[in-house]
Amino acid sequence: MTGTEGRVRPWASVEIDVPFHDVDAMRIVWHGRYVKYLEVARTALMRSLGFDDLSVHAQGWMYPVVDLRLRYLAPARAGQRLRVRADLGDYAPMLRIRYQVRDAASGRWLARASTAQAPVEVASGALFTRPPAPLLARLEAALDRWPSR
């Protein structure tokens, strides 16, 4: 496995205000909306590495989610401000990202999650067991530039 061991683990954090349309009849965030919040954080992380979905797709590749694990710890509610953090773990053979969803004011844990995304060639739809060399080199160069913070 290729990962971030021995390096500062890249991460990104976003804040999201829970809109009313994300809650259910009990006025808590509908469980499926958490996936959207994770995606916002994942996008911020990958963009910070110069590895956003559009640039990867332009090179003929995509990284669809092949595994999602989500554990709900406490309910989020309409109007609540959330802080969602995404941390990059391994990046080969798949991207593995871990997430924290917390109340932005108190830091209270609301959910934790992880995703795995596999490299797929856009033209053929073929799933690859390792990232293509140009993408792997580009990601490793971005990790080498990642600031210590």
Give the active site residues.
24
Residue type, 88: L
Q: Which two tokens stand for residue 21?
A: 């349309």
Of the candidates 10, 5, 2, which has an alpha carbon nearest to the alpha carbon of residue 148?
Answer: 10
Q: In whole angstroms, give the CA distance from residue 8 to residue 34.
A: 26
CA distances to 16, 119, 144, 145, 148 from 6, rounded to whole Å, are 31, 24, 11, 14, 12
Of the candidates 29, 2, 3, which has an alpha carbon nearest to the alpha carbon of residue 16?
Answer: 29
Q: Could you count the other beta carbons within 10 Å of the beta carbon of residue 25? A: 6
